[in-house]
Amino acid sequence: MRLSQMLFVTLRESPAEAVIPSHQLLLRAGYIRSVGSGLYSYLPLMWRVLQKVSAIVREEMNATGAQECLLPQLQPSELWKESGRWDTYTKAEGIMFAFKDRRDREVALGPTHEEVITTIAKDMIRSYRQLPTHLYQIQSKFRDEIRPRFGLMRGREFIMKDGYSFHTNEESLKETYRDMDRAYRNMFSRCGLDFVAVEADSGAIGGSGSQEFMVLAEIGEDEILYTEDGKYAANVEKAESIPPDAELSPFSEYEKRETPNTPTIATLADFAQCSPTAILKNVLYEAVLDNDLLVLVLVSIRGDRDVNDVKLQNEISKLVSEFGANAVLSLEVPDEVAQKKWAVKPLPLGYIAADLSDDCIKKAKNIHPQFVRMVDQTAVDLKNFVTGANESGYHAFGVNWEQQYPLPKLVVDVRKAEAGDRCVRDPEQVLKSARGIEVGHIFQLGTKYSAKMGATFTGEDGKPSPFVMGCYGVGVSRLAQSAVEQSHDKDGIIWPPAIAPYHAIIVVPNINDQTAMEAAENLYQELNSAGIETLLDDRKERAGVKFKDADLIGIPYRIVTGRSLKEGKVEVVQRATKESQDIPLDEVVTTIKNWLDLAINNE
């Protein structure tokens, strides 16, 4: 492709909307353009990158025996109500674009396709002889993000590969799950990414287990906890750990004391001259369920630990059926304003005890009349601890479970694991922290969807059984931007050769130099004929502008038909290392082809 004929516009300054390097560079280099909040046009260079990423994903999926299809983006609400996720996605998370058509029927633009694919399996797969079956697609998805940001990292429309497998039993599912683990590692390695596979929370997708694939980057939205021996890695939402041992409490007698201006653990520990591990923290949450019932949850946890909201929501989700509900719509720590909806009188925030009376809750139809009380494992064995006294400015000292307060029946792990904690798999290993960008996620769904939607097959015994399912996603557009975030310098993008829009760019410093143009034209033809995808910068621009643009767009190899032509050579610069060398004209194609083969095979 000749740049003089291409839609190619670069920017010298980063647009104000872009705050991370990859977003800034994709905009400046003319790969994408914003048309609205979280909405981007993929311009010719970007589309070539996305096609290459998709081709790698497709090759690895096909190699496992998965079959490609294309599912409708517009989905009827009936399917989502059948699975019980309509309210979760339209009210709780609120991420689904849902609306009514002209016949007043509720429909939505799909953020995912479990319901659609389960319906297809229900209609078409009758017998165990048709299993296992694995279908996948690559297409646009939609999420009504509250705060779209970071370009393609968190947009409202994005390209994704999502696959779904159907099995007779868990053993068959786990075999495909292992196949997907290998396929995903191949995909991301071939794309030239530095990534790590981590244990993950399944979120709204659900299921018994899942694993995320994270591209390591400082701006990553997710925190990863890992061990240096490489045997454990998990998203902080899922991570488990062994916290530091609690220090011995200096208090031996129970007494209520005035503790002015100590609403936080730090101020209380300083006032009481004790370790935060000798303090019991009581955190109040309000959960709204999908039947509009408000449930108040009181969590008791050791003072040096924080509550992991994801783990807590999972624990509450296990209880929702007791309240006649299917899901948790929201979970928040109520401030003084929020309390007025359900509290008989203002509560002493920062001074609450584990025995906060149920009488604090207003009597109302949509409010559960009792606190759901949970205690984190870190707090179960505390002795002579300090905790709130249910009165502002006062704490109780020398408190013991079953003496002053009953130990909650629900003992749970809802603490946030932290760097510096010991690993549960090997206590000799200490957890370290890194940031990551999620580019892939695989799930063992089990029968979560098939059981609810009545999707069954006839087994060898002649009896109907629900499909055992798996789900496997790759963020294609996010992966492309992640590669830029991980591989760039002050001058621009450094594309891994396997997904670069072009392999080489020929720069002609002076297009009025007939010899230079003739050499460039010949090389352009020879390189493209040899399968080396090549750009020719034949624009009427200064040489400096062309060099800057070549660096900015990140093409792996730059060929310059300049002064060295007098010696029958051209300058070749490798974008990743900036290493420059003069190569004879008749060796350029062979040299770059060898470099390219080596680079792609090593990824």
pLDDT tens-place string over residues 496-531:
999 999 999 999 999 999 999 999 999 999 999 999
Q: Is 581 helix (H, G, I), strand (E, B) or coil?
A: strand
Please report, as a single letter, which amino acid is at residue 229.
D
Q: What's residue 207's pLDDT?
A: 55
pLDDT band at 146 (very low <50, low <70, confident <90, very high): confident
pLDDT band at 200 (very low <50, low <70, confident <90, very high): confident
Neighbours of 491 (CB within 10 A): 15
Instruction: Tell me the pLDDT tens digit for each residue of 370-410.
Output: 999 999 999 999 999 999 999 999 999 999 999 999 999 99
End-to-end, the C-alpha distance of the chain in Å comes to 26
Q: What is the largest CA-CA distance in the chain?
A: 96
Distances (CA, A) of 465 to 121, 134, 135, 356, 501: 13, 18, 20, 47, 48
CA–CA separation, 349 vs 2, rounded Å?
A: 67
Q: What's residue 167's pLDDT?
A: 98
Instruction: Tell me the pLDDT tens digit for each residue of 341-376.
Output: 999 999 998 999 999 999 999 999 999 999 999 999
Q: What's residue 91's pLDDT?
A: 82
Q: What's residue 94's pLDDT?
A: 84
Torsion of CA 465, 117, 314, 287, to 10 degrees: -120
Q: What's residue 210's pLDDT?
A: 86
Contact (CB, 8 A) for 524 and 588? no
∠ Cα 195 218 238 (to 5°): 65
Q: 59 CB contacts (<8 Å, ≥6 apart)?
A: none
Instruction: Tell me the pLDDT tens digit for each residue of 34-74.
Output: 999 999 999 999 999 999 999 999 999 999 999 999 999 99
∠ Cα 293 326 470 (to 5°): 150
Q: What's residue 206's pLDDT?
A: 52
**pLDDT of 119 over the 60 cut:** yes
Element (H, E) at 82: helix 77-83
Instruction: Tell me the pLDDT tens digit for each residue of 564-593.
Output: 999 999 999 999 999 999 999 999 999 999
pLDDT band at 88 (very low <50, low <70, confident <90, very high): confident
Element (H, E) at 397: strand 394-399
Instruction: Tell me the pLDDT tens digit for each residue of 298-319.
Output: 999 999 999 999 999 999 999 9
Determine the average pLDDT of the residues in 124-138: 97
User: How much of the chain, in percent, has pLDDT values that exceed 90?
Assistant: 90
pLDDT band at 603 (very low <50, low <70, confident <90, very high): low
pLDDT band at 93 (very low <50, low <70, confident <90, very high): confident
Q: 587 CB contacts (<8 Å, ≥6 apart)?
A: none
Number of H helices, E strands in the chain: 15, 31
Determine the average pLDDT of the residues in 202-209: 58
Q: 263 CB contacts (<8 Å, ≥6 apart)?
A: 349, 350, 351
Alpha helices in 125-223 (DSSP H): 170-190
pLDDT band at 204 (very low <50, low <70, confident <90, very high): low
Q: Is the dihedral of CA 483, 486, 491, 496 positive or negative?
A: negative
Element (H, E) at 336: helix 336-339
Question: What is the rounded average pLDDT for all residues in the chain?
Answer: 94
CA–CA separation, 290 vs 543, rounded Å?
A: 63
Which has the closest alpha carbon to 234: 423, 460, 511? 423
Contact (CB, 8 A) for 550 and 569? no
**pLDDT of 97 over the 70 cut:** yes
What is the chain's alpha carbon radius of gyration, rounded to the nearest angstrom? 29
Take residue 34 and report the two structure tokens written for it. Answer: 């914003």
Neighbours of 320 (CB within 10 A): 18
**pLDDT of 158 over the 90 cut:** yes
Which has the closest alpha carbon to 506: 571, 587, 567? 571
Instruction: Tell me the pLDDT tens digit for each residue of 235-270.
Output: 999 999 999 999 999 999 999 999 999 999 999 999
Take residue 206 and report the two structure tokens written for it. Answer: 């659900």
